[in-house]
């Protein structure tokens, strides 16, 4: 089944709106637009690591979800041998893991999650 195509107007400049936005509804709307673009183009020639990296950058409330999205971006960048994207995405993933570790050190994560992360050897 073909995925529907949508017109992407990069002049809309969604990313700065997300960064400089105080309106939660607008922020959610812009995030969902980026997510929709990623999902519609997933697996097509228009599936680009930049789009997934941008989505992950603005997945602020869930580091694990962001890491999963970054992994998609990293896979695309690796397949296309886009070294600058590979470096950028790996840095972003490392930063998210550092945030998770800081949460653990300050006791903000439930003990069950800490045990799961240890089992997966994420914290070693």
Q: What is the pTM of this model?
A: 0.69
Tokens in use for 90? 């790996």
Q: Answer yes or no: is pLDDT of 104 > 60.
A: yes
92 within a domain of the structure (yes/no): yes
Closest CA to 35 of 63, 65, 64, 11: 65
Residue 53 belongs to domain spanning:
10-119
What is the average pLDDT across 33-42? 96
Closest CA to 18 of 30, 9, 35, 32: 30
Tokens in use for 109? 């994560």
Confidence grade of residue 43 (pLDDT, cut at 50, 70, 90): very high
42 within a domain of the structure (yes/no): yes
Confidence grade of residue 7 (pLDDT, cut at 50, 70, 90): very low
pLDDT for 111: 58
Vertex 93: Cα angle to 120 and 71 (nearest 5): 75
pLDDT for 110: 57
Contact between 60 and 95 (Cβ < 8 Å): no
Q: Please tell me the total count of domains within the chain.
A: 1
18 within a domain of the structure (yes/no): yes
Vertex 50: Cα angle to 47 and 53 (nearest 5): 105
């Amino acid at each position: 089944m073909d995925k529907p195509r949508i017109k992407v107007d990069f002049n809309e400049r969604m990313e700065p709106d997300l960064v400089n936005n105080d309106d939660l509804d607008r922020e959610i709307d812009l995030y969902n637009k980026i997510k929709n673009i990623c999902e519609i183009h997933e697996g097509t020639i228009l599936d680009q690591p930049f789009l997934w990296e941008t989505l992950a950058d603005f997945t602020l409330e869930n580091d694990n979800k962001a890491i999963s999205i970054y992994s998609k971006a990293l896979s695309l960048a690796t397949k296309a041998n886009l070294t600058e994207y590979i470096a950028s995405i790996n840095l972003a993933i490392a930063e998210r893991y550092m945030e998770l570790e800081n949460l653990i050190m300050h006791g903000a994560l439930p003990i069950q999650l800490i045990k799961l992360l240890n089992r997966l050897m994420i914290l070693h």
